[in-house]
Structure 1
Amino acid sequence: MKTHIIFIGIIFVISFTLGYFDVNWILYLITIFGVLSAYLYLLYSPILFTNDILKTEAFLKKNQNKPIFYLIYSLANHLESNVEDAISKVLLKYKSPTKQAHFIAIYSLYKHDIERAKASVGQIQVLKNKEYYQALICIEEGKLKEALTIGNKIDSSWMKHTINAEVYLKEGNEEKARNYAKQAIRETKGIQKYLLYKNFEKILDGKL
């Protein structure tokens, strides 16, 4: 809220100043666009662009009133009672079947409910996301070779690294799992980096 008020104040001052000096309207629009872009970057940096995990965590803590951030923080930190409450609120807010499929897949994998995860994955339309969840399901079922085969087809390097890390972790090869986990984390930003870091936190020894 404070950030919004500051932004509105800046826009007001710029508008008044440019209007007072009768600045060309094209320059006026360029200036406003520049300020707006900077504002949006600052606003969404913690969830989309930053490499600072602590900054993302602070953002999630501060925005617990928003169901999706409430769910992400609860899942990442294994807050069991909060997870149940959060997933209910998320599914209540987001009615789209495809969006719900993503949330249910994530929640089901977290709860090790493989059958429900499989059912939800079938409704996911983006291929790389569908394959990513399918690979994670295979890992849960102990089908590690199948998981790697699916992972190798995915058009996302961080997803491939994550699957490899999970496979090696399942095999008990912590060193290789750690190396792949670090690669996946390095190739992500914002919330995705935070989720991966929290997922592999125990094997990272606090080092990236």
Structure 2
Amino acid sequence: MSSNHKSPGISNALQYSLLFVSGVILTVILLILEFPSGLVIVIIMGLSVSIFTIRPMYLIYKSKSLPAINRYVIKNQKKPMFGYAYALAHGDNQDIEDSLKRILKKYKQKEIQTVYGANLALHHSDADALLEFAEKMTRKDYKEYYLGAAHLLSSDEVLANKFVAKLSTPWMIHSSNASIALRNKDGETFRLEANRSVESAAGLQRYILYHMFERMEEEKFS
């Protein structure tokens, strides 16, 4: 990927060292205060779970903070799923293609293959391949979302709108409407629907949508 983007200021190794030292200090303090050793263990384990499990899950699925999600993506960019998000935010078109291919190579589950295969087809503006992947999807909203995108890519806006009308997930509805507005060169509606899509999403999905729309606007209206 592009090498001109800075890594986080504090390395993962240093962060883990600081957390370990903090944990030791907290343990000593609790023992000095004569907390029962069993309670000390529970407290330390609870904090560890919060730091290493709950917080990452919150960032991936629930966070609304793009800067916080960005820091997490940068730290985990070598993992395929986060590599795709990183490429959208910091890379070029080749980086995006390479990141999608890494996901498809590593994860063989049908759902991942169809969704990220569809994303790669969309990246190539390949309507036939996108339609083929969409037809194989089992999740209803995703299927209708990508079928709508495929027909829009084929210049069949009427059929695309029929699939959009079936959607129930807010970010998908607004994302589809933004794509339709973009095709019609309606910049005002595109920005309105793009913002609504981002606002209705959370976590990594919010981050991906934000940077996807930024790229779309730059390529179409710059």
TM-score (norm 1): 0.79
Instruction: Report how far residue 136 of structure 1 moved.
Output: 1.2
Residue 45 of structure 1 and its aligned partner are, at CA, apart by 4.2
Pick from 68, 71, 74 the counterpart of residue 61 of structure 1.
74
Shift of 1:83: 2.9
Give structure 2 stretches of 5+ with no counterpart: 1-11
Residue from 108, 112, 137 that aligns with 1:124: 137
The CA distance in 2 between the partners of 1:140 and 1:199, in whole Å, is: 16
Tell me the equivalent position of 1:160. Answer: 173
CA distance 1:33–1:152, change in 2 (3 Å)? farther
How many percent identity over aligned positions? 22
Deviation string for 1:131-189 (max 9, x for gaps)?
11111112211222222221222220111111111112211222122211111111112
**Compared with structure 1, are the counterparts of its residues 176 and 83 closer, same or farther at alpha carbon in structure 2 (3 Å cutoff)?**
closer
Match of 2:158 in 1: 145
CA contact (8 A) 2:97 2:120 kept: no
Name the aligned partner's letter for residue 175 of structure 2: T
* Contact 1:11–1:32 (CA under 8 A) maintained in structure 2: no
**Is the 1:18–1:28 contact (alpha carbons within 8 Å) kept by the matching residues of 2?**
no
Q: CA RMSD in A?
A: 3.0
Unmatched 5+ stretches in structure 1: none
Match of 2:61, as an amino acid? L
Instruction: Quote the Cα distance in structure 2 between the aligned partners of 1:63 and 1:28.
Output: 29
For residue 90 of structure 1, give the secondary structure of its aligned residue in structure 2. Answer: helix
Match of 1:88 in 2: 101
1:70 correspondence with 2:83: yes
Give yes or no for contact 2:23–2:44 (8 Å, CA) kept in 1: no
Q: Which moved more, 1:2-11 or 1:179-188?
A: 2-11
| TM-score normalised by L of structure 2 | 0.74
Check whether the contact 1:63–1:70 (CA below 8 A) recurs between aligned residues. yes
Amino acid at match of 1:64: Q
1:186–1:29 CA distance, 2 compared to 1 (3 A): same
Which residue matches 2:4?
Answer: none
